[in-house]
Amino acid sequence: MTDAAPTDTPAYAGPRRILSGIQASGALHLGNYLGALKRFTALQDSGAPCFLFVADLHAITVWQDPALLAAQTREIAAAYIASGLDPARSTIFPQSAVRAHSELAWILNCVARLGWLDRMTQFKEKSGKHKERSSVGLYTYPVLQAADILLYKATEVPVGEDQKQHLELTRDIAAKFNTDFSAPGFFPLPEPLIQGPATRVMSLRDGAAKMSKSDPSDQSRINLTDDADTIAAKIRKSKTDMGVMPAPGESLDDRPEVKNLIAIYAALSDQTRDEVIARFAGQGFGAFKPALADLAVSSLAPVTAEMRRLMDDPAEIDRVLKDGTERAAAIADPVVDEVKQIVGFWRG
């Protein structure tokens, strides 16, 4: 057994699979839509099986109101479907409903090294100055995340820039497991999928801070349940600066809010940032913001309407989740059983 992650594990030879999830911990916003939901729909059409789960196990690394958690799970599932995911083509399920996630996470906890987890920057950011008050789950959740991925032998994972470190940990864990237990190529070394111009959507009030549902200011984000008037008003009031729209080739390093709005427009319109800049170069924000507001409203209104319809019919969502759970378990359970055999657990 080695402490370091090997780098020469033979290649995985199994099928291509894509996996991702969103935490069941509150209202979804434009950042979730552009950074995840819109991309999931495109990946669904790529030909690879997609597994999209609601990460309720991850959500409880910080306290969640038990009376709201199931409703939040349904809301995430509704957002998946409203954004264009077809439950017949993509497997949509709650993480906690497939027990193999927790089983594999424990085994991988015994493969991962403390030094690897100590390097995870997100724990330091989320725990702040009082890490001793944080849950153990908050510290070890990157291992659960690795289990989520490896349980389905996912070969590709859509991630934002802030999650790349966790995917690197997953690759380290997979390589170490394959080597420690003489199982070359058993787990794949999943690759990140980072696509498009708005992989990291920033706050409408602070271009240096990621758009977040935990921000105390509702003006900092566009919620997927916001109506058209609210969306337009938030964009009109979004922070910019005293300048005008940049010219092609102009650096935006010192204009983070402007850079963010351009990225949002580009992602919603399926254009490049350069194309957006060329269209609006030299114009004032009095011209750009209304155009962005119209685009955001037209893009999000159908999603909001379908989300509301689905949330008014929880039985329909539950049918989707139950079917997805059964399909996910049919893949996951044999994998964790094989892992137990490889590790040497009693199999009577």
Residues annotated as catalytic (active site), given as ranges = 126, 210, 213
* Three-class secondary structure of residue 134 per DSSP: coil
CA torsion sign for 175, 176, 177, 179 is positive
C-alpha 34/C-alpha 74 separation (Å) is 20
* Max CA distance (Å), the chain: 73
- Read off φ and ψ for residue 94, nearest 5 degrees: -80, 135
* Alpha helix (H) residue ranges in the chain: 30-32, 38-44, 56-59, 66-82, 100-109, 114-118, 121-127, 136-151, 164-180, 228-236, 256-269, 273-280, 285-311, 314-343
Q: What sign results for the dihedral spanned by CA atoms 58, 59, 63, 64?
A: negative
Q: Can you tell me the distance from the alpha carbon of 139 to that of 122, in angstroms, rounded to the nearest whole number?
A: 9
221 contacts 215 by C-beta, under 8 angstroms: yes
Decide: 300 and 222 in contact? Cβ < 8 Å.
yes
Which residue is listed with tokens 């999603």? 303
Structure tokens at 135: 């849950």
